[in-house]
Amino acid sequence: MNRIGIVMTLILLAAGCATAHVPMAPKDADAAAKQFPSIPGKANVYIYRNEGGGGIVKFGIYVDGQPASQTAKYTYVNLQLEPGTHVIRGHAHNNSEVTLDAKAGEVYFIWQEVTLGSGFSASNEMRIVDAEAGKAGVRECKLVAEREYPAAAAAASRGNEQRLLELKKLRDQGLISEAEYSRKREEILKGI
């Protein structure tokens, strides 16, 4: 084998062994998330990548244009989102997004499918899947640790501010009672 062949073989072996790493959550957090709980006042969203392809590439996860997390091979992200419409985007060599009409107390699953390109590129395709497929996919993966992204926290805070303003407007228009207003206001504030 000539030198170029040896070098190419070593590069391919290194690439096959290389793996992108993301911070992982503790095992107990992973086990708790895999109970797939319904969360009062929030939509519980799982985004999973249950494939080994593209293992040397981290894929970004964005919610409503703000960075939320990253995935690597055989990992998943668990997000609790405010009810409403959200655009969830996966970023790799390409961008792929889904629009999710999130409802409080519901559980959703999004598969971040990996497609390998030429060289070392990897693309992703975001797909909303049913609970059976989603739970099976998540069970093959490990939970990524939560990370604090200031822009995402600010967006969530703006969502709470908007909910409080809408609630006040309903009270001021006489559409809900003072007791209903107070109870719902406390629920929103506890979620902050």
Per-residue pLDDT of the chain (192 residues; tens, 9 = 90+): 556 544 444 444 444 444 567 888 899 999 999 999 999 999 999 999 998 776 677 889 999 888 899 999 999 999 999 999 999 999 988 899 999 999 999 999 999 998 877 666 778 899 999 999 999 999 999 999 976 555 555 555 556 677 788 878 878 888 788 888 888 888 777 765
pLDDT of residue 157: 55
One domain for residues 41 and 127: yes
One domain for residues 171 and 142: no
One domain for residues 104 and 123: yes
**Residue 138 belongs to some domain of the structure:** yes
Contact 103, 43 (CB under 8 A): yes
The label of the residue with tokens 């894929």 reads 59
Can you give the CATH number for the domain in which 111 is found? 2.60.40
- Kindly write down the DSSP assignment for every residue of the chain, as one continuous string: --HHHHHHHHHHHHHHH-----PBPPHHHHHHHTT----TTSEEEEEEE---TTTT--EEEEETTEEEEEE-TTEEEEEEE-SEEEEEEEESSSEEEEEEEE-TT-EEEEEEEEEE-STT-EEEEEEEE-HHHHHHHHHTSEEBPP---HHHHHHHHHHHHHHHHHHHHHHHTTSS-HHHHHHHHHHHHHT-
One domain for residues 62 and 113: yes
One domain for residues 142 and 67: yes
One domain for residues 140 and 152: no
Q: Which domain holds residue 184?
A: 148-192
One domain for residues 37 and 102: yes
